[in-house]
Chains A and B, each alone.
Chain A
Amino acid sequence: MNRSLTSIAALASVALMATACSDPAAEAEGGGSAGGGAVEWPEPTADLDGVTLTLWAAQNSTTIPEQVTAAFEKATGAKVEIVTIPDPYEQSVQTRVATGDKPDLAFWQPTASMLTALNADTNLQPLDGAPWIEELQPELQDMTGLLDDTRYAALISSPSVEGVYYNKDVFAQHGITEPPGSFDEMVDLARKLDSAGVTPFYGMAGDRWATQWWVQVQLAGAAANGFWDDVNSGEKSFESPVVLDAITRYRDLVEEGLFNDDLATATFEEQGDALLAGEAAMALQVNSFFGQLQAKADTATLNEKIGFFPISPSGNVGTYIPDQSNALVAFRSGDEQKEAAARQLLAFWMGPGYEDFVAGQGTISLKPDVPTPDSVPQALLDAHASLGDSVGSMQALAAANPDLYLNLADMVAGEMTPKEVAAATQDQFEQLASAAGVEGF
C-alpha cells in the first residue's frame, strides 16, 4: 500500500471520528418545540394535508392504534404509518433512538424510570396542558406519565395492576366463597388447597418476568409509606429488611410446594392454559395475562370462570404498573409541523376519537363521560376499580428499573439465595441510577 493511500485512510478515519463523536440522538436539540415554554395544542381535526406521521408500536400493541389513526387520517388528511418494532421492544427503541432514529410517536411505558431511559428531557415533547387531562377520572390524571413535574406520556388505556387472577370453579369446589382479604389469608387458603391436592399458585419462572410481582405486592404497604423515595435517595435499598423479607417469603412459598412442580421452566402461555383449565387455583399477574386469556376464551366464559382480587399484606390493595401498551409519547423530531401534528393526533385520540377507540378496542374508558363497552369482562373491570386506592410498583416509583425478575428467576432455579438476589438487584439499581444522573449515586 503506498503512502498517499495510508494518509487518505487516516484522514478519513479522523474525519469520521470527529463527526461521530457526539450523541447522534442529541441532534434535534434546539430545533422544534423548545422545552419549558407553554405547549400549543392544535384543534384535533385541523387540516393536515400532506403530513405523514410515524408511530412505533410493539408486537402486542400494533393493532391498538389502527382504528383511531384511520379516523384521524379521514378527519385531517394526514397519513399515519404504524411501524411494528420487534421484541424486545424497549431495547430496540432505545437503541434506535440512541443512533438518532426517531418516530413522531411511540408506545412507551409511562413510568419515570422508563421516561428517563429515553432521555425524555431531550428526546420527548412535553405534553403539559393537554386538553383531555381534566376529562379523565381524577385519580388517573397525574398517576403516571410525569417526570420532574413535566408530562411526557399520554395514558390511553387502564394501567396494569398486579393482582391475583383465580379460577372460580376451583374456589367453589373447595367451598371458598370469598376471596382472601390479605396476603397471609391468601397463603392460608393456598395451604388448604394444597392439602386438598390442588396446585394453589401457577408461576411462570421459565419466562422469568412475572416472578417480580411476588415481591412487589408484598411491598405495597412500604410503597405507600414512601419506601421507593427512600430507595431513590439512597436511604434504603433492595437489601433493606422489608425487601429481603419479601424475597425470602417468596422463596419459602416456593420451597413449601405451593407452586406448580414445573415452576422453574413454565411459561406465560402455559400459565394461561393452566388457570383456564383449572389445573391451578390462582396466578399472580398483570393485565397482559388477562389479555392472553381473552385470546383463548370469550367474555361470557371468562366472566363465568375467572375472577380477580388485588392483594397486599394489609388488605386488598393493588399495585399499579402501567405498561407500554397503556401510553404514548411524542418525540422531538426537529420539524415543528410534524411535532404539532403528533400532538394533534394525541388530542384527537383522547378527544373526539376516544369513544370510538374505546368501543372498537373493547377496553375500559378512562373518562367518566365516555361509557365502557359491555364486552369488557368483569375481571378487568375489577382490576380497573382497584386502581383508585392502589400503590405504585417498583417500575412506577423507583428512579431506575433493575432486573429484579431475572435474579428472582435464578433464585427459583436454585442458583441464588435471597441475600444474593437483593445484593445483585441493588448493585444494578445503583449502576443505572448513576448512569441516569440520580443525585447521590
Chain B
Amino acid sequence: MATEHETVAGAAPGQPAPDGLPPGGSGGKVSRTTSAERRERAAHPGWFLAPALVVMVVFFFVPTVFNFVYAFTDWSSFKSEINPVGFDNFVELADSGTLFASLRITVVYAVLVAIFQNVFGLILAVLLERDTRLNRFARAAFFIPVLMSALAVGYIFQAFLKPEGALNALIGALVGHEVTTAWLGSTTWTIVVVALIHAWKWMGLSMLIYMAGLKTMPGDVLEAARIDGASPWKAFWAIRFPLLAPAVTFSVATALLGSMNGFDVVQATTEGGPARTTEILNIFIYRTFGQGLFAQATTMSLVLFLMVALFAFPVIKILRRREEIL
C-alpha cells in the first residue's frame, strides 16, 4: 500500500521525471520488496524447517521409499537374504483374486464411511449450530468418540452387537420376546454396520468442520435471503450448502481417504469376517505380514498407497471445482 501511494504521489501532474519514469518508480519498488522479503526471511529462517523436515524424512519419506524398494524383493521371515525379484510380487497378487476382492471391499467401505460420516456430521452441525447451553453440551458429547481409541470403540460395539449383546436385549425388552440377531454375522450387511461404527466415531470431527463453515458465513447474505422471502429449507440448499463447499471438500476428502487406510475399527469388530466380507486391504496386509511374507505385504501396501493417491487427485479436484462458484 505504502509503495503504491508514494508512486502515485511521485508522479504528480506537472512534474514529469526527466527520463519519463515516475520518480521512485520500478527501481525503488523492487528494492522495497526485496527488503521486505529480507525482513521476512530474517523472521522465518530456512533452517527452522530442519527439525520438521528431519522427522518427515526419517519417519515418512524414507519408509515410503523403502515401501517401493521392498515391493520388488523376496523379503520374508524365512530367510536372511533379500533378493530383487522384479515384478513377481505384483504378478502373483494380480493372479490371486484376493487382492482385488480386498480392494473392492476397501473402496466400498471408504465410500460408505465418507457418506455416513458427512451426512451425520452435517445434520449435527445444523442441529447444534445455535449457541445454547444444551447445544454446547451436545457438541462436546458428540465429539467425545473422536477422542476415544478406535480399538476401544470397536470392542465396545462388538460386545454391544453380539447375538446376546445389549442391543438385542434392548430390542427384546421393547418387542417382548428374545431377539438373537447376529448384527455382525451377515455376509452382506456387516460392512455397512462396520462403516456406520467408523462413521459414528468420526462424525464429531465432520460436525466441527461443518460448524466452522456455518459460523463463518456472511450474515448479510442470509439476511438478504430472508428478506427476499426464502424459506429456511430453500435458504439452506440455495445459499448455505453451496457456501459450505470448502468444508465439504476437506471433510469428504479426509473421511474417504482416511477410511481407505482404516484398520482398527474393522479389526476390533470383525477381524475381516464373516467370511472375509469386511476384509479391507489393511487387514489383508496385516494377515500376510503375520505369515512372514513381508515382501508381499509391502507390495500390497504399495498398491494401497497408489490407490489412495489415484483416488485423492480426482476427488479433491471435483470437490474443488464446486468451490469455484464462490
Residues of A within 8 A of B (CB): 1-2, 5, 9, 12-13, 16-17, 20-23, 25-26, 29, 88, 90-91, 94-95, 97-98, 116-119, 122, 206, 208, 262, 264-265, 403, 406, 409-410, 413-416, 427, 431-432, 435-437
Contacts of B310 in A (CB 8 A): none
The reply to whether the CB of B242 lies closer than 8 angstroms to some CB of chain A is no
In the complex, what residues of A have CB within 8 A of residue B50's CB?
5
Q: A95, B290: Cβ atoms under 8 Å?
A: yes
17 CB-based A-B contacts, threshold 8 Å: A1-B46, A5-B49, A5-B50, A13-B61, A13-B65, A17-B69, A20-B62, A21-B82, A94-B77, A94-B292, A119-B79, A206-B274, A265-B182, A406-B276, A413-B275, A415-B187, A435-B76
Is there contact, CB below 8 Å, between B296 and A431?
A: yes
Whether B290 contacts A91 by the Cβ 8 Å rule is yes
Residue of B whose beta carbon sits closest to that of A116: B78
Which B residues are in CB contact (< 8 Å) with A5?
A: 46-47, 49-50, 53
Q: Which residues of A contact B46 (CB under 8 A)?
A: 1-2, 5
Inter-subunit contact A415/B275 (CB<8 Å): yes
Given the complex, which residues of B lie within 8 Å of A9, measured CB to CB?
A: 53, 57, 61
Chain B residues positioned under 8 Å from A262 (CB to CB): 163, 182
Least distance between B269 CB and chain A CB atoms (Å): 13
With a cutoff of 8 Å between Cβ atoms, the chain B residues found around residue A206 in the complex are 273-274
Report the separation of the CA atoms of residues A416 and B274 in the bound assembly, to the nearest whole angstrom. Answer: 12
- Count residues of B near A (Cβ-Cβ below 8 Å): 43
Instruction: State the Cβ distance, B285 to closest chain A Cβ, in Å.
Output: 12
Known interface pairs A12-B54, A431-B92; A409-B275 also in contact (CB < 8 Å)? yes
Which residue from A1, A25, A208, A432 sits with its C-beta under 8 Å from B80? Answer: A25
Q: Is the CB of A410 within 8 A of B290?
A: no
Which A residues touch B61, using CB under 8 A? Answer: 9, 13
Are B274 and A26 in contact, with the CB atoms below 8 A? Answer: no
Measured between alpha carbons, how far is A119 from B289 in the docked complex, in Å? Answer: 15
Q: Which residue of B lies closest to A437 (CB)?
A: B79
| Contact, CB under 8 Å: B62 / A264 | no
Residues of A within 8 A of B289 (CB): 91, 95
Residue B75 at the chain A interface, CB threshold 8 Å? yes
Cross-interface CB contact of B78 among A21, A91, A413, A435, cutoff 8 Å? A435
CB of B291 within 8 Å of the partner chain = yes
Within 8 A of A (CB), among B70-113: 74-82, 92, 96
A22 to B69, CA, bound (A): 12
| B residues less than 8 Å from A118 (CB atoms) | 77
